[in-house]
Structure formats: C-alpha cells, structure tokens
Amino acid sequence: MQVAYTPAEIAAIVGASRTAGSAKLKIRDIASLTAARAGDLSFLGNAKYKSQVPASGATVLLLPPDYSGEPKPGQVFLYVENPSVALAKLCARIEQSLWPKPPAGIHPSAVVAPKAKIDATAHLGPLCVIEDGAHIGAGSVLQASVFVGRDARIGEDCWVMAGAVITSTCSLANRVRLQPGVVVGSDGFGYEFVRGRHEKIPQIGSVFIEDDVEIGANSTLDRARFSRTVVGEGTKIDNLAQIAHNVVIGKHCILCAQVGISGSTTIEDYVILGGQVGVGGHITLAKGSKAGGQAGITRDIPAGAYVNGTPAIPFMLERRLHLLQQRLPDLFKRVEALEKK
C-alpha cells in the first residue's frame, strides 16, 4: 500500500473509543483475520468470525465494543462502534494519500488545440491531446495520454485515467470516472449489404455519459448512428464491456466485466448484469431486472425479473431444467425399462 501508520494514528483516524495492547510495528497492509500477518490490520466485520480473532496474526484489530478477549504481545485492539465503517474510514484516508488530487494546470507535453477550453482548475497530465472545441470542466483530472476529440465535453470533477479516448462530440457529465484504456465514441457497427459488399452507414450521433458513472478499463462505447448512446446517472460498468450504438442504459445499473449490449437496446434503471452476459439488439430489460453470468438475453425482460442461461429464461426455471438435464441418463434408462415390460 506504500503507506505506514502507527496504531495510534489508526486509532485517531477511526475514532477508537478504547485501545488495548501495544505494538511498535507500523501498519502497511490490510488483510482478513486468517490471512493477516505482523504489520497488517484486520477487522471483525461480522460476529460469526469472532472465533478467528484469537489466532489472527494481525498487528492491529478493529473490534466491536462488546468483544471480550485480550490482545497478544505486540498486538493492539481498537474498539469501535462498527468495525466495517471504521475500516471504510481508514481506506478512504489511505486512498486520499495514495491518489491525492493532482494540482491544477496543463503539463507542458500536453497538446491542446487553440480553440479547446480548459478550466483553470482542471489538471491535464503529460501527453494528453485535446482537439479544437473540446471543453474540460472545473476540477477534472486527465491522468496521462488521454485523447479528447473535437467538440467533446468533459464536465466537472471527472477522473479520466491513462490512455482513455473520448472521441469528438461525446460528453461526460460530472464526476464521471474512466479507467485506463476506455474508448467512448468509437463508430457504431452499422453496414448495409450492397452488391456483395458491406457499405458503412455513417455513425453521426454521439455518446452521453451522465453524472457519477464509472467505466472499467478497456471498455468500449460506440457513438449512435444518430442521436445518442446514453449511460445513465450512477451506473457502473466493469472492464472490457461493449456498449453498442444507440444503447440507452438507465440510472444506477451494474454491468459486470465483459458484458456486451447490442445496438438500440434499452436497459432501464437498477438493472444488474453478471459477467460475460450478452444482450441482443432492439430489446428492453425493464427496471430492476437481473441476469446471471454468461446469460444470453434475446427478448424483453419484465421489471424485476431474474433470468439465466442462453437463451435466457427465468432463473428458477433454468436451475430446475439444469438439474433435470443431469438426470437424463437415468430417464433414458427408465424409459428403456418401461419399453421392455
């Protein structure tokens, strides 16, 4: 973690109500109760793991007020109202020290076109390329080697990591976070088959990403044929996901890694898709629907439904069919026996 805190510093950060034991080691990492070694901090987040505390090798332990037991020599118990909340506080502090917001300004190696508008409080790291008419909002951070195309727009307090690409006319609203290598605004995959050849259909729309969206490393989002491809407020997309042209994703969805959404499909608010799920084109996954990993969704899914399998069917039915399939060898034998009667 590249950080080191004394037990006393941690007690202050988490607001410990009481301390027991003492330790000279600094804390350099966090680990589970069973994995923790000297120099690690651990925590009792769930009472059911209480029995793991005495054997834990952690140097500092975050424990609830009612935990009874004594620290070993060289071990510190910090009593806190809620160990999970205390851990979150500590992690947030570490996060800040690991990735402090870089200072405002434009690195001299960045290539900024004359008609780009860069807010004075934004940070443009080394070797970023900003084309004419692009706009980078207040407090936004472009880490390094980020490309922002003509007339593209980055709102306020966005973080755009190394090597991400935002092509022309696409927009990020505020507090959007793009992990390294994300591509926003590649051309939609649209061709017309004319005399034995696939002729490109112009893709003249754009991509609009609303507030508080996060998109994982090397994911790709295509611009719309016309109008916009949209990712709704607060939605989180994992690595290597593919969002095709004219897809509209609602608010607060979770799309796990390697998901692929085909063109013109609508994903309503609060939808959750497991890893490697594929969704066909021109369909609607209604509000709050869910799909298990690797599901292949070919039809509309009603609100709140949970589907699985390829093609996707209701989860419980899919589970039941899967079990029956495993009994097929037996079924064949039983039918044979009946035929011999």
Verify binding: residue 296, its own copies, rule CB under 8 A: yes
Verify binding: residue 37, its own copies, rule CB under 8 A: no
Number of residues lying near its own copies (CB under 8 A): 103
Query: Exactly one of 156, 210, 222, 268 binds its own copies (CB under 8 A); which one?
Result: 222
Verify binding: residue 39, its own copies, rule CB under 8 A: no
Are 43 and 81 spatial neighbours (Cβ–Cβ below 8 Å)? no
Q: Compute the distance between CA of residue 40 and CA of residue 59 in angstroms, rounded to an integer.
A: 6
Verify binding: residue 307, its own copies, rule CB under 8 A: no
Smallest distance, Å, CB 192 to its own copies?
8
Smallest distance, Å, CB 253 to its own copies?
9
The Cα angle at residue 123 between residues 117 and 126, in degrees rounded to 5:
100
Query: Exactly one of 19, 52, 82, 168 binds its own copies (CB under 8 A); which one?
Result: 168
Smallest distance, Å, CB 72 to its own copies?
21
Residue placing its CB nearer to its own copies in the complex, 20 or 132: 132
Verify binding: residue 315, its own copies, rule CB under 8 A: no
Distances 19 to 6, 14, 22, 41 between C-alpha atoms, Å: 13, 12, 9, 14
Verify binding: residue 4, its own copies, rule CB under 8 A: no
Number of C-beta neighbours around residue 215 at 10 A = 29
Number of C-beta neighbours around residue 229 at 10 A = 29
Q: Which amino acid is at 133?
A: G
Smallest distance, Å, CB 198 to its own copies?
5
Q: Which H helix or E strand runs over 178?
A: strand 177-178
Query: Exactly one of 49, 181, 303, 315 binds its own copies (CB under 8 A); which one?
Result: 181
Residue placing its CB nearer to its own copies in the complex, 66 or 337: 337
DSSP 118-176: E-TT-EE-TT-EE-TT-EE-TT-EE-SS-EE-TT-EE-SS-EE-TT-EE-TT-EE-SS-
Smallest distance, Å, CB 19 to its own copies?
22
Q: Compute the distance between CA of residue 183 and CA of residue 80 in angstroms, rounded to an integer.
A: 43
Query: Exactly one of 238, 247, 265, 307 binds its own copies (CB under 8 A); which one?
Result: 238
- The reply to whether omega before 311 is within 30° of 0 (cis) is yes
Region for 288 from its dihedrals, namely left if φ exceeds 0, alpha if ψ lies in -120 to 50, beta otherwise: left
| 3-state helix vs strand vs coil in the chain, percent to 5 | 15, 30, 55
Interacting stretch for its own copies, rule CB under 8 A, among 50-58, 59-67, 72-80, 216-224? 216-224
Verify binding: residue 71, its own copies, rule CB under 8 A: no
Smallest distance, Å, CB 68 to its own copies?
27
Residues 194-213 that bind its own copies (CB under 8 A): 196-198, 200-206, 212
Are 19 and 76 spatial neighbours (Cβ–Cβ below 8 Å)? yes
Verify binding: residue 229, its own copies, rule CB under 8 A: no
What residues are labeled active site? 245
Strand order in the sheet with 76-79: 18-21, 76-79, 60-63, 40-43, 29-30
Residue placing its CB nearer to its own copies in the complex, 70 or 339: 339
Q: Compute the distance between CA of residue 199 and CA of residue 181 in angstroms, rounded to an integer.
A: 28
Query: Exactly one of 280, 284, 300, 303 binds its own copies (CB under 8 A); which one?
Result: 280
Smallest distance, Å, CB 81 to its own copies?
17
Are 215 and 173 spatial neighbours (Cβ–Cβ below 8 Å)? no
Residue placing its CB nearer to its own copies in the complex, 35 or 138: 35
Verify binding: residue 257, its own copies, rule CB under 8 A: yes
Residues 121-140 that bind its own copies (CB under 8 A): 125-127, 129, 133
Largest Cα–Cα distance of the chain, in whole Å?
A: 89
Verify binding: residue 179, its own copies, rule CB under 8 A: yes
Verify binding: residue 283, its own copies, rule CB under 8 A: no
